A and B are shown apart, each in its own frame.
Chain A
Amino acid sequence: MKGRRTAAALVWMGLLALAVWVLARARYSADLSAFLPEAPSGAQRLLVEQLKQGVASRLIIVAIQGADEKTRTQLSQAMAARLRADPEFLAVENGDAAAARRDEAFLFAHRYALSDTVTPRRFSVAGLKEAIGNTIDALASPTGALTKDLVPSDPTGEMTTLLDQLSSNQPPRAENGVWVSRDDKRALLLVRTRAAGSDTDGQQHAVEAIQAAFRAASGPGSTPRGAQLVMSGPGVFAVEARANIKSQVTRLSIISSVLIIALLLLVYRSVAALLLGLVPVVSGALAGIAAVALGFGVVQGVTLGFGVTLIGEGVDYSIYLFVQSASGTDWRRSVWPTIRLGMLTSICGFAVLLASSFPGLAQLGMYSLTGVLAAGLATRFVLPELLPHDFRIRDLTPIGRRAARLREAASAGPIVIALIAVCAAVVLGLYRQRLWSHDLSALSPVPAAAQTLDAQLRADLGAPDVRYLVVISAPDQQSALEGAEHVGAELDGLADSGVISGYQSPAQYLPSLATQRRRQESLPPPGILRTRLAQALSDLPLREDRLAPFLHDVEVARTAPPLESTSLDGTSFAALAGSLLVRDDDGWRALIPLEAPVSQGQTRDIDMERVRRAVSVGAPDDVTVLNLKDQVDAMYSSYLAGAVRLSLAGFAAIVVLLLITLRRPSRVLRVVLPLALAVLTVAAALRLLGSPLTLLHVVGMLLIVAVGSNYALFFDERFSASAAGGAGSGNGAAATATSELTLASLLVANCATVVAFGVLALSSVPVLHDLGETVAPGAFLALIYAALLSRGPHSKA
C-alpha cells in the first residue's frame, strides 16, 4: 500500500515536471490571430492575409493634441524628422511641403514614363496639335493660371493628365506645413511601418519608437505645455490588445484564485484540505497548457484566460471526493462512477471544439479537454493516496440539510421553471431575426472608444478604410504589374461612369517594363519631333522656340533607363508602391484599393458586381475582387454557423454518451432537460438584457451543458438510488444523509464554478466577457433546475 502510494505520487510528480518543462519552452502569443480563422480558402485567405500584413495593417495614424498650435507644429516637424531617419518606418508623412515638392518633382521628371496618354498617336502631327491646342484652351479656363508655367516644358499637358489619374482624394488640411485635423485641434502624421500588422513585436517597437520620438521632440522634462500623443491603427490595436489581454488574464487569474481559495477555506476550514483540493486544479491547468503548447506550437493569451474556468471544474472533483469520503462510504464505488460520467460528458463537449477553425476555440477545446481529464485522473488516482488516514473536513451535512429543506419547500419549482421556459422561448422567438451578431467587431478586443478615435482620425486625414480591393496574383513582378495595368484600364472606365471615384494602383507609380518600353517607343527622336512640332504649331499661337525645354525633356525620357522600384526611393510613392505590390510565397500580388463614389457629400457603396464584371473581362491573371467588410462579416457568419453546428454536435455527443451509460431514455431526459432549459433561459436573458449573441455565447452554452451535466447526473444518481432504495432495503436514513452531503458538495462546487466564470464576465476582452456572462448564470441555473426537476419520489420519501 505504502509502495503504491509512493509510486502514484512519483508518477504524478514526474508528469507535472514534464508539463512544467513543456510550459517553460512554449511560445506564448497574445495577438489577435486567435480570432482569425486558420485555413480559409480563396478570397478569405487573401482577406486574412490583408488583415495580417496588407497595406492597411501597416498604417499608424499619429495625432498630437493639446498645447497650442505652434507647439503642435514644432512637435510634428521634430517627430517626422526623427522617424524618417528610423529604418523601422517605410514612410512618414506630415504634410511637409518639401516632401510634396519631391513627389511632384518625381512625377514631373518621369511624366512620359508614367502617363498613359503617351502613345504614338499623341506624338504624331495631329496628336501634338490636339494636345497642345487643349493646353492652350486650358490656359483660358479658370485653372489656366495653374498650368501656364508648365507650357514650355509640357505643352502636351502630361503632368495635368498624370495628376488627374492619381487620386481624386484631397490631401489632409495643412497649416504651416503640417497636417492638421479639420477642427484644428490636432496635428496629424501618417506612418507606414516596415513590420506587418500581424507582427505584434514589430508593431510594439514601432509604437515605442513613435513614443520616444514624441518625448525627444518634447525636449527634456515632461511634455511641453500639455501636448499629448494619440495613436491609432491596426498595429496599435494589436499592441494594446496584447497588453490588455496579458494584464487581464493575469488579474482575472489572481482574482478568481483568491476568491476560490477563500471559498474553500470557508468550507473546509483546513489549509491541508485546501492544498490537497488544489491538486486536481493545478494538475489540470498544467496538463492543459502543455497539451495546447504541444498541439498548436503556440499558446494564445486568451486560452490562459479561459483557463481560469478550469479552476471551477477542477475544484469540483476534489470537493466531491472530500465531502463524500467524509461520509465514510467507499467513494470509489459510490461517487467516482458519477464523477467519471460527468467528466466524460464534459470531455465530449470540449472535444467538438477541437474541430473549430478559430484557433482560439480549438485551443480552448484542447485545454479544457486535457485539463478536465488530468484533473479527473488526479482526483481518482493521486489525491486519495495523498490523503492522510485521519483526513476529515468540516461536516457539511448542516449546509446540505438546509439546502435540502429549501428544495423541499420549493414545491412550485417545476411550474415556475416551466413558466420561465415558456417566456424564454417567446423571447427567443421574438428576437429570432436579430438573435445573432453578424459583425466580427463584436468579438474585437479593441474597445469601442479606440474604434471611435480611429474613425475620427481617419476622417481627419481623409484616409478612408481600405474596404474595396482588387487583388491580382501573378507568378512574377512584371506580370503582376501588367495585370494591374489591364485592370486599371477597366477601372478608368468605371471611374468615368461614376461606379468608383478613383483607385490606386502600383502601376501608376511603377509601370511594367513592357509599358514603359511602349511609351518610350512612342516618343519620336529629336529631328522627327521638331519637324512634327513645326507642323503642329503652324496655326497655334505658340512658337516652337519657346518649347526647347519640351524637346529636351522628351529626348531625356526617350533614352532614359526604365523606372525600377528603387527609382521611387525618397518619394512617398516608394512606400505606397511597396505596399501595393507585395511578394509572398506563391509569387507576387498587385493590390488596387478602390475609392467609393461620393454624391451629395455622402460616400456611397461600390457596386462590386459591376467591378467584378469589368475586371474579369479578358483578365490575363488571377484577379479577385474583395469587399473587406462584407468578407469579414460573411466569414464571421460562417464561423458563427459553424460554432452553432459544433455546439449542437457536442450536445448530441453528450446525449449519446448518456444513452449508452444510463441506458434508459427517461433517465437521459431527466439529466438533459434541466440543462437544455438552463441554456434556453440564459440565451433569452442575454438577448433581452444585452446585445445580439456572439460566437462565444454559443460556446458558453455548450459549456453550460458540459459543466451542468455533473450536477444533473448527481441528482439523477440520487434519484435512481433512492427510488431503488425506497423500494428495496429501506435504508432511508443513510440515503438521506448521503443525499444531503451530495447537495452540499454540489453547492460548493457550483459556487466555485460561478465565481470563476463570473470573474471572467468582468473582463473587457469580449471573448472572455461573453463566455463568462453565459456560463456563470447558466451553471447556477443548471444546478437549481436539476435540483428542482429531480424531486419526484425521493422528496416524497
Chain B
Amino acid sequence: MAPLAKSIDARLIKRFPAGRDSEAFELNVHFRAGPEVTVLSGPSGAGKTLLLNCLAGFARPDEGRILVNDELLFDAAAHIHLSPQQRRCGYIFQDHALFPHMTVRDNLLFAASAAPAGKGPALNRRRRVQELLAAFELADLAARKPAHLSGGQKQRAALARILVSEPRLLLLDEPTRGLDVRLRRAFYDVLRETHRRLEIPIVLVTHDLDESLELADCVYLLDRGRVLQSGSKDTVFARPETLEIARSLGIYNLLPATIAALDPGRHTSRLRVLDQEIEGPYLPGHLIGDSGFLCVRQSEMRVRPPVARSSGNQLVLRLTGASSSCRGVRVVFEHDVAAFVSESDFEQQLRGHERLALEIPPSAIYFIA
C-alpha cells in the first residue's frame, strides 16, 4: 500500500439563511492542512467550530468537497457524504463529552470496540486500553466516573479515549477552555507528544493567541465565515496582511507612517512616523511617499529613558499610563502604543519620565499600506 499523504483539503460552503432571531451566515473556506498542527483562530461566530463540524461529518456543507489522505469524505456534486462513523475523525469537544454513566475504563473500552481493530479478541482491546490508561497517567483513576475527575484528568481521559479509536486526524474544539495555566502547559506537552508519535493532522480551534503561538505550525485566521489569512505561524503573526487583521490580533503596535526614503542597495528604508524618522527594512513594492501603518510586535519594543543623542533606532513617545500585568509592567503611550518592561526596569529607570524612547530593531518593522 502506498504511504498515505497525510493531509486535509476542504473546499466548502455552508449557508444558514436569515432566521427570525439570527442573521444569514455563510461559511466559505478553502482549508488545507498537512500532517502538522493547524490552528483555526478568530472571534466567536467566525465559523471555526462549524468548519470543524463539517470536517467531522456532523454538519453537511451545501457545496464543495472534503478530502482527507486522498479519500473523499464529502463531495456535494457526487452526493458523497460519509457519516461521522466512517470518517473516524477524533473529535475532542469543549467539555470533553466523556460518557457520564461509564467509568474512565469503560469510556475507553467503548472506543476500543468501535475502532477498526476492535473486532479482535476482547483481551487485545483490554490490553490496548490498559496501555493508554498507563500512558496518560489514568491507571489509578480507571474505575472512576468522569464526574469524579479534575479538569486536567478529564482532558487526558478524553484524549486517551480518542486515541483508542485510531483516528486519522484529530479535531479539537477549544480543548483548554476553563483550564488554568499549569494544566494548559501540561496539555500542550501531551498534545505535542501525541502528535510526534502519531504524525496525524491536528486541527485545533482556539481564540487564545498564546495557544496558537504555542502549538501551531500553521494558522488560519477566520472571521465571519471567511479565511482572512493563512500560512505558517511565523508568516501570519509576523506579517498580518491587512490593518484589520493586525488590529484584531491585538499584539501589534500600529502607527501611521509615510515612506521617506528607500535604499535597495543597503536594503533599508526610512519611515516618517509622528514627525520622527526611523529605519526599517527595505519595502519592495512600495514607493517613496506611500503612507500606511508601521506595525511592530509589542514584544519587539525596548523601552528606554530618553537620551538626547541616541544611536539606536527609536521613537520618542508620550507616556499615558502604566499598569501591572503578569508579563511585567504594561506601559501605554499615545496612539495606543503598548510595551512590556520588567518591574525593576520600570522602577529604576523609567518611572517619572513624561516621554520615553521606544527602541525598535529595523528587522522587526513591518509596513502595512
Q: A and B from one assembly?
A: no
Residues in chain A within 8 A of chain B (CB atoms)? none
Residues of B within 8 A of A (CB): none
